[in-house]
Amino acid sequence: MTDAARWKATVYVGGLASVVTIRNLHDAFIPFGEIADITLPKNDAPNATEPHRGFAYVEFEDAEDAKEAIDNMDQSELFGRVLKVSAAKPPKSAEEGLGSKTAIWEQEGWLAEHNVSEEDRAAAAAGAKGTVNDDRPEDPMQGLEGLDVAGPKPE
């Protein structure tokens, strides 16, 4: 299964009580289809007392099963807590975006969005040389000679 297909078949389950285990999640989500994997991220903080971070990812074998689980389990209750069940989003790449260690203009996505064509460059160069016919005067400061004194006009 490709990564894109895997993420379509994965649901995010948030709002989990600290007593919830992988077995509890398996039992709660198995009615909707075959489960390929359940990930319950552990809390990495050294002084953490909670066994997990309060959310999980449940990956189904089929994307339709994931949609069925979202429709039926969102806003349901498990161990006294209301669950938030939604489609899982793929993780952001560490090489892209503002948190990356690469300059934004060196990233593929930014280049594709902000690429300037040769035709646009030629038009900009022609505009800078004054070859574009406008009704503007050549010197933008022309006609402003008497405006160098501040205050009211003397009579």
- The kind and range of the H/E element at 26 are helix 22-29
d(CA 120, CA 65): 49
Q: What backbone torsions phi and psi does residue 124 show, to the nearest 5 degrees?
A: -65, -40
122-149: buried (b, 16+ CB within 10 Å) or exposed (e) per residue?
A: eeeeeeeeeeeeeeeeeeeeeeeeeeee
Residue 16: which residues within 8 A CB-CB, separation 6 or more? 25, 40, 52, 54, 55, 56, 78, 79, 81, 83
Using one digit for the tens of pLDDT, what is the confidence trace for 75-119? 999 999 999 999 998 876 655 556 667 776 677 777 777 777 777
Using one digit for the tens of pLDDT, what is the confidence trace for 7-41? 889 999 999 999 999 999 999 999 999 999 999 99
H helices present in 43-140, as ranges: 63-73, 108-114, 118-129
